[in-house]
Amino acid sequence: MDIIALTALLAASIAAGTAILFAAAGELLTERSGILNLGVEGMMLVGAVLGFIVTVNTGNHWLGVIGALVGGGIMAALHAVVTISLRANQVVSGLALTIFGTGLSGFLGKNYEGAPMLYQFKDLNIPVLQDIPVLGPIFFQHDIMVFLAMILAAGMWYVLYRTSWGITIRSVGENPQAADAAGINVARVRYFCTISGGMLAGLGGAYISLVYAPTWQQNMTAGRGWIAVALVIFALWNPTRAILGAYLFGGVEALTFRLQTMGIHISSFFLVMFPYIVTILVLVLVTIRRRQDAGAPEALGLSYDREER
């Protein structure tokens, strides 16, 4: 493989990883507040179909993006009501929303099946930086959404670890009793993080239907929502590691295509498995070298009831 092909592969990795990065960043925020959202896949699909429908009908892809944010946000709001206010099991609610989102998106998109997306995001080639050899084409010749995802994940790291909002969010995920006793409104923080997380999942879905594979097809996210959930664990709940992880998984996806066209005979099933195998390996390593302060938020998946005795 020559340098040009490699550059193209790496650039494709970033494009392929962007949808995962949006969804993973959203899930990371949600989980940091202690809520496990397994409905990411469903929320991505609803975001993808709404983004597509709104864009086709209005001719404005930014309105499509807003549609996707609203769709993902509404789905996540359902999850929030069920798990935060009604304190139902988070796993059950999340799985139900994935199944629901899969069906709903198929239903809404029935008349758009296979239609092409005509309104495209243009590549936003960053002046000067794009001319750096090798690095320029890899990092700086993408559409605006790719940059948005990077900035978002980096910004999320700053907010979580360098601001008092971050301390608030993390404390709610680690120990809601302590946060409550310190005067923090636990439910409000969890609602905020869950709904924002769902909106980002919707955005990730829209990136697929509007930019990455500009069309609508039923089930077109093809498990990326699940990769996003796994990626949060892979990243040990740290947004900067999530960026690397998203592009790594994006790279695996891009590689799958290239290898097939290059006629290298590795079963495509194996390559599709690869991200999950990596996730399992990372989980094993994480469990072996467990450090007190680098792991899952302690209260992840647990509902909080102030008067529980």
Q: What residues line the site for other proteins (CB under 8 A)?
A: 158, 162-165, 167-168, 170-171, 174-175, 177-185, 292-293, 298, 306-307, 309
Residue 87 contacts residue 305 (beta carbons within 8 Å): yes
CB of 25 to other proteins, least distance (A): 19
Q: Which is nearer to other proteins, 261 or 292 (CB)?
A: 292
Q: Which is nearer to other proteins, 61 or 170 (CB)?
A: 170
Q: Which is nearer to other proteins, 10 or 179 (CB)?
A: 179
CB of 170 to other proteins, least distance (A): 8
Q: Which is nearer to other proteins, 182 or 277 (CB)?
A: 182
CB of 158 to other proteins, least distance (A): 8
Q: Which is nearer to other proteins, 2 or 307 (CB)?
A: 307
**How far apart are the C-alpha atoms of 51 and 112, rounded to whole Å?**
12
User: Where on the phi/psi map is residue 292: left (φ > 0), alpha (ψ -120 to 50), or beta?
Assistant: alpha
Residue 34 contacts residue 215 (beta carbons within 8 Å): no
Residue 246 contacts residue 44 (beta carbons within 8 Å): no
Look at residue 109 and give its three-state secondary structure: coil
Task: Using CB atoms within 10 Å of the CB of residue 220, give its burial: 0 to 12 exposed, 13 to 18 middle, 19+ buried.
Answer: buried
Q: Which is nearer to other proteins, 116 or 183 (CB)?
A: 183
- The dihedrals phi and psi of 123, each to the nearest 5 degrees, come to -65, 140
Q: Which residue has the tokens 């139902």?
A: 88
CB of 174 to other proteins, least distance (A): 5
**How far apart are the C-alpha atoms of 294 and 278, rounded to whole Å?**
19
Look at residue 293 and give its three-state secondary structure: coil
The set of residues, in sequence order, having a beta carbon less than 8 Å from that of 63 and lying 6+ positions away, is: 54, 55
CB of 159 to other proteins, least distance (A): 9
The tokens for 189 are: 């923080």
Q: Which is nearer to other proteins, 144 or 181 (CB)?
A: 181
CB of 243 to other proteins, least distance (A): 21
Computed on alpha carbons and rounded to an integer, the radius of gyration of the chain in Å comes to: 19
Residue 51 contacts residue 210 (beta carbons within 8 Å): yes
Residue 201 amino acid letter:
A
Q: Which is nearer to other proteins, 139 or 304 (CB)?
A: 304
CB of 166 to other proteins, least distance (A): 8
CB of 176 to other proteins, least distance (A): 10
What dihedral do alpha carbons 304, 307, 308, 309 form, nearest 10°? 150
